[in-house]
Structure 1
Amino acid sequence: MKDPYQKYRFSAINIKKDVAMRFRNFSRLVSDSHTHTLERVMDFFEWNDLSPNDDLGINNNRTNKRINAVIAILKNIEKHQTLPTKAMLDTLFQVISNMENTEEKEEDFDFGSPEPLSRDNELDHYRNRYEEMQQQLGNYKKRMLHLLEQMTFVKGTFGKGHYKLDMDKNEFEELKKGL
């Protein structure tokens, strides 16, 4: 088998000796040839829309926009998920503590210490949950496709037309219960 580089013509570039040595060391880590290494470096800069002269620090507008977007997402999560959940739990615990104070104390049960989930168990849990969610999504898609198949377009006499759902009342009630 011929060397794959035989079909290419090579060109020489004059580079300072210390830079060439440094590039050779870097090239050994990245790829099997200097050409592949240089192509990967150039591809990296092109794909990421970067220039070697770019400042990748906080002063970069793109970086600032991305950081601000992440901050906005986290604030949104805190505002719409974490704080309401915490408020509900606080309310629940207050009600429970008020009930305990007014009622007689019942026996204390020792439930033992919870077993921490191992990484594999946690991964299995989330994988199973993901598969369940995918199955539910598939079921919803099937229901929606079935529903869309039962729709027909009715052209209006005056003005715009509309869609009509060809479904009897019982089917519609079953659909509502299923959601």
Structure 2
Amino acid sequence: MLEFFEYNNISPSESLGPRMQTLESAITKRINALVAIIRDIEINQTLPTKGMLDALFEGIPNPSTKKLSMSFEKAFENLTVQSPPEQNHPNNTDHHDIRKVLDRMKLVKPPFGRPYWKVSLTNSEIAHLKKKYHVYNN
């Protein structure tokens, strides 16, 4: 135990007042040095990176809302507004086609794997639907 006091130049009879003040000033100097290092990092590394990112995104134009002409707006409203389909309309073949396809669907439950739906339409019926609805892939 005496070796500790001798190694640190501390005497049991001596007051620790001035020693504590010097220790406090040494710690304060180290903290100030760390603050200076952090400020240097901010100035030399972080701010240039932020500046480069700002310059990069500066070239992107801001989305602006352009005022459309009244005739175009009215035409667009006419396109987007849809009336509900009439039930007994003679030209309502889409409803008939969908009903026909749904009536020909069967649920298949294999012993292994997930259940799936099977559509039993002839090749001519499928070709007719593709031609009618402008589907040109195989």
TM-score range, shorter chain: 0.3 to 0.5
The structure with the largest alpha-carbon Rg is 2
TM-score (normalised: structure 2) = 0.35
Higher relative contact order (Cα pairs below 8 Å, separated by 6+ residues) = 2
TM-score (normalised: structure 1) = 0.28
